[in-house]
C-alpha cells in the first residue's frame, strides 16, 4: 500500500513526461526519505514493472526514470487492496487524487460489481452465503435511541424488533414481539401480550421488564429524537407479569401504534446487557434476524441469528463496508441521505445489462420553507410568491420583480440546510441571485434543529414518503410551525390535535394534505422536486422485498448455490 502511494507521489511530481532525468537525491527529497531508501523504493517499483530505471553510478549523476504503469492503474490497485484489507482511511486521500479519471471510474465500477454483492465460500465443509454492501454513510451507532442516519436505521432494523410491525402495501399493523394487544375505551391504555421464549442475541429471554426499560429510557431522554412527540406522551409503563405490558398515554393518540412499528421503538434488553449507552451502540444485542459481530469506522459485519423467532434468514453473513466517495457523479457534494448505499438502492449503473431494477415504494420530496416568524421581508406574501415564481422559472425570463420590493435596496436572504442538501440550497441561491442577495449556510442535523434555524429566511427540508409518512408529516409540521407566523402556527397546532385523535388513517391523510395545500397556497413552502428510490440488484439475488421504510429486507434475500460435483 505504501509503495502505491509513493508511486503516485512520484508521478505527480515527474509524470508530465514519460521520461525524466533525475538524481536519487532529488527522488529522496520528493519521497521524504534517505538516499538509500529512495534506491530501495525505485528498485521495488522497477521489479513490479511500474517504472523503468537506468541508473548512472555516482552521487549527483542523473539517471533516467520512465513511467510504465499509469497512475490510474496504480490508484485502482490501491483501492482494491485498501478495501480487501479493510483499511480504507489509510489510502483515501491518494485515491481521491485520481478518482476523477474516467478510466478509474470504469475500472472501479467493474471491480465493485465483482467484489460486492453475493458470494459463497466453503468453511468446514459448509457453504457460507455472504452479501457485501458498500455504504456511503458511516455507522456511528445502531442504538434505536441515538441513531440519526438512514444507514444506521437500516442496520438497526435487522438487529432489533418492535412490538408490532407493518405488513403489505397498505401498511397493515400486525403482531411481532407482541402476539396480541388491546386498548381501553378511552384509547389511552394499551396492553401488549408478548411471545414466549423470544431470545436476545446474548441468550437472555425477552420479558416485559425489557419493554418497560425500553420505553422508560425513551421517556427520560432529553434528545430531540425523531417522533419525540409520540413517546413523550407516554405517562407510564408497567409490567403486569413476565409476558404482559401496560402502557398508559397522557391523552389519546392514534399515531401511537404506528410509532411502535418504527425502529425508534425497537426493544432493547434491560440494562443494555450491562453495557454503557455508547458501548451498546457499537456492541448491541437485540432479538432481530442478524446479530452484530464486528463494528468499526470502516466495516460492520452481521451474522445470522439462527434462533430468530420468525425463522432463520437465508444469508449467513452480511458485510457492510463504508466507502464515502461516490462511484460516479459529483464528488464535491456529499451523498444524498435518500439512499446510503452504492449497489443496492439508487445505482450508479442503471443501464448496465447485468443489473435488474425494482422500484421501492418510497419517494423523497425536497422542498423549501419560509421563516415568517422572523421579522423581515418574508412576512410579505408578495415577496414569498415572487420567490416561488422564480423557483418555478429558474431562467427568470418571465418573472418580474415583486411589486413591494424596493429595487434600490437588495433583499438579503439566508438559506439554511444540512450538508447533504447543500447543492439544492446553492441552486436556489443561483436562481434567486438576480433579485436577492443569498447566503447559504449548512449545519449538521443537531445544530440545524437549534436556534440558527429561527434566524434564517429560507430552509431546505425533505420528506421521506414511506409507510411512516403520517408520523413524518406530524413531526415535520410541528417543526415548521415553529418558524411560521402566529396565526398559521395556531391553525397547524389545532389541525394536528384533530389528526392525533382521528382513528381513520384515510381521514388523517386528508387532514395532512389540507395543511400542505394551505401552506403551499400561502407561499409558506415550495416543492423543489420529488424522486423515487430505485433498487438495483444482480439477477442472481432473489427474495428482494422492502420493509415499511422502503429498505431492502435482508432476512428474505437469497441466491442459488453453485452446483456441486455429484461424483
- Provide mean pLDDT across the span 399-420: 75
% of the chain beyond a pLDDT of 70: 81
Contact by Cβ (8 Å): 343, 117: yes
Confidence of residue 467 (pLDDT cuts 50, 70, 90): confident
CA distance 236 to 202: 28
pLDDT (tens digit, 9 = 90+) per residue, 216-274? 999 999 888 889 999 999 999 999 999 999 999 999 999 999 999 999 999 999 999 88
Q: Which single residue is written with the C-alpha cell 418497560?
A: 212
Most confident of 11-25, 75-89, 189-203, 319-333: 189-203
Domains and CATH numbers, the chain: 1-69 (1.10.10.10), 116-342+554-566 (3.40.190.10), 364-531 (3.10.105.10)
Confidence of residue 104 (pLDDT cuts 50, 70, 90): low
Contact by Cβ (8 Å): 158, 175: no
- Provide mean pLDDT across the span 143-160: 90
Residue 164: predicted pLDDT: 97
C-alpha cell at 304: 445470522
C-alpha cell at 551: 429498505
Residue 346: predicted pLDDT: 41
DSSP string over 169-182: TTTEEEESSEEEEE
pLDDT (tens digit, 9 = 90+) per residue, 490-526? 999 999 999 999 999 999 999 999 999 999 999 999 9
Q: Would the pTM of this model clear 0.95, i.e. be above it? A: no
Residue 134: predicted pLDDT: 76
Mean pLDDT score across all residues of the chain: 83
CA distance 16 to 260: 62
Contact by Cβ (8 Å): 322, 299: yes
Cα–Cα–Cα angle for 521, 524, 529, rounded to 5 degrees: 85
pLDDT above 50: residue 308: yes
Q: Which single residue is written with the C-alpha cell 482511511?
A: 89
Residue 35: predicted pLDDT: 83
- Provide mean pLDDT across the span 469-485: 93
Confidence of residue 357 (pLDDT cuts 50, 70, 90): low
Confidence of residue 317 (pLDDT cuts 50, 70, 90): very high
Q: How far is CA 529 from CA 19, 289, 331, 520, in A?
A: 52, 36, 21, 14
DSSP string over 416-436: EE-GGGHHHHHHHHHHHTTTE
pLDDT (tens digit, 9 = 90+) per residue, 165-178? 998 777 899 999 99
Least confident of 85-99, 434-448, 451-465, 524-538: 85-99
Confidence of residue 213 (pLDDT cuts 50, 70, 90): very high
pLDDT above 90: residue 151: no
In 418-524, where do the E strands start and end? 436-442, 458-465
Q: Which of 318, 324, 317, 277 lies closest to 298 in space, CA to CA? A: 324
Q: How far is CA 470 from CA 248, 379, 429, 465, in A?
A: 22, 29, 31, 9
Confidence of residue 102 (pLDDT cuts 50, 70, 90): low
Residue 338: predicted pLDDT: 41
- If residue 2 lies in a helix (H) or strand (E), which one and from where to where? helix 2-14
Torsion sign over Cα 84, 87, 88, 93: negative
C-alpha cell at 420: 447533504
Residue 83: predicted pLDDT: 64
Residue 404: predicted pLDDT: 58
- Provide mean pLDDT across the span 22-32: 86
Least confident of 34-38, 176-180, 337-341, 558-562: 337-341
- Provide mean pLDDT across the span 329-340: 43
- Provide mean pLDDT across the span 302-322: 93
pLDDT above 50: residue 345: no
Amino acid at each position: 500500500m505504501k509503495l502505491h502511494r509513493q508511486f503516485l507521489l512520484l508521478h505527480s511530481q515527474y509524470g508530465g513526461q514519460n521520461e525524466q532525468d533525475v538524481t536519487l537525491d532529488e527522488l529522496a527529497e520528493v519521497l521524504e526519505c534517505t538516499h538509500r531508501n529512495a534506491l530501495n523504493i525505485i528498485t521495488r517499483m522497477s521489479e513490479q514493472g511500474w517504472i523503468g530505471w537506468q541508473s548512472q553510478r555516482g552521487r549527483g549523476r542523473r539517471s533516467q526514470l520512465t513511467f510504465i504503469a499509469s497512475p490510474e492503474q496504480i490508484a485502482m490497485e490501491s483501492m482494491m487492496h485498501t478495501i480487501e484489507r479493510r483499511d480504507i482511511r489509510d489510502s483515501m486521500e491518494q485515491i481521491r487524487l485520481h478518482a476523477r479519471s474516467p478510466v478509474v471510474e470504469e475500472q472501479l465500477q467493474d471491480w465493485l460489481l465483482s467484489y460486492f454483492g453475493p458470494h459463497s465460500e466453503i468453511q468446514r465443509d459448509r457453504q457460507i452465503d455472504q452479501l457485501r454492501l458498500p455504504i456511503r454513510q458511516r455507522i456511528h451507532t445502531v442504538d434505536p435511541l441515538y441513531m440519526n442516519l438512514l444507514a444506521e436505521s437500516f442496520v438497526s432494523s435487522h438487529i432489533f424488533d418492535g412490538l408490532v410491525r407493518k405488513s403489505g402495501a397498505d401498511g397493515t399493523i400486525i403482531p411481532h414481539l407482541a402476539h396480541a394487544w388491546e386498548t381501553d375505551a378511552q384509547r389511552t391504555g394499551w396492553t401488549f401480550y408478548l411471545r414466549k421464549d423470544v431470545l436476545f442475541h446474548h441468550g437472555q429471554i425477552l420479558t416485559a421488564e425489557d419493554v418497560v426499560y425500553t420505553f422508560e429510557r425513551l421517556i427520560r431522554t432529553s434528545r430531540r429524537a425523531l417522533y419525540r412527540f409520540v413517546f413523550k406522551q407516554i405517562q407510564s409503563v408497567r409490567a403486569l407479569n413476565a409476558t404482559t405490558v401496560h402502557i398508559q398515554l397522557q391523552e389519546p393518540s392514534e399515531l401511537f401504534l404506528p410509532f411502535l412499528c418504527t425502529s425508534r421503538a425497537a426493544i432493547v434488553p434491560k440494562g443494555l446487557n450491562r453495557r454503557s449507552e455508547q458501548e451498546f451502540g457499537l456492541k448491541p444485542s437485540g432479538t432481530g434476524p442478524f446479530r452484530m459481530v464486528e463494528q468499526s469506522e470502516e466495516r460492520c459485519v452481521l451474522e445470522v441469528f439462527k434462533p430468530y423467532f420468525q425463522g432463520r434468514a437465508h444469508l449467513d453473513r452480511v458485510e457492510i463496508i463504508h466507502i464515502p466517495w461516490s462511484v460516479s457523479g459529483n464528488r464535491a457534494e456529499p451523498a444524498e441521505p435518500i439512499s446510503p448505499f452504492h449497489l443496492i438502492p439508487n445505482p450508479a449503473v442503471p443501464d448496465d445489462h447485468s443489473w435488474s431494477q425494482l422500484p421501492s415504494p418510497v419517494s423523497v420530496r425536497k422542498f423549501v420553507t419560509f421563516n415568517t416568524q422572523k421579522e423581515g421581508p418574508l412576512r410579505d406574501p408578495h415577496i414569498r410568491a415572487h420567490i416561488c415564481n422564480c423557483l418555478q422559472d429558474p431562467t427568470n425570463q418571465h418573472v418580474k420583480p415583486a411589486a413591494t420590493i424596493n429595487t434600490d435596496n437588495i433583499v438579503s436572504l439566508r438559506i439554511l440546510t444540512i450538508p447533504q442538501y447543500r447543492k439544492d440550497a446553492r441552486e436556489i441561491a443561483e436562481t434567486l441571485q438576480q433579485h436577492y442577495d443569498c447566503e447559504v449556510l449548512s449545519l449538521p442535523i443537531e445544530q440545524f434543529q437549534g436556534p440558527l434555524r429561527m434566524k434564517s429566511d429560507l430552509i431546505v427540508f425533505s420528506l421521506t414518503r414511506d409507510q411512516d409518512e403520517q408520523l413524518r408529516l406530524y413531526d415535520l409540521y410541528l417543526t415548521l410551525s415553529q418558524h411560521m407566523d402566529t396565526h398559521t402556527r395556531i391553525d397547524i397546532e389545532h389541525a394536528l390535535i384533530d389528526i392525533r385523535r382521528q382513528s381513520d388513517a384515510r381521514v388523517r391523510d386528508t387532514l395532512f394534505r389540507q395543511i400542505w395545500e394551505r401552506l403551499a397556497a400561502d407561499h409558506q413552502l415550495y416543492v423543489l422536486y420529488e424522486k423515487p428510490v430505485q433498487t438495483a440488484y444482480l439477477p442472481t439475488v432473489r427474495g428482494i422485498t422492502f420493509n415499511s421504510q422502503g429498505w431492502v429486507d435482508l432476512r428474505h434475500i437469497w441466491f442459488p448455490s453453485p452446483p456441486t460435483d455429484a461424483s
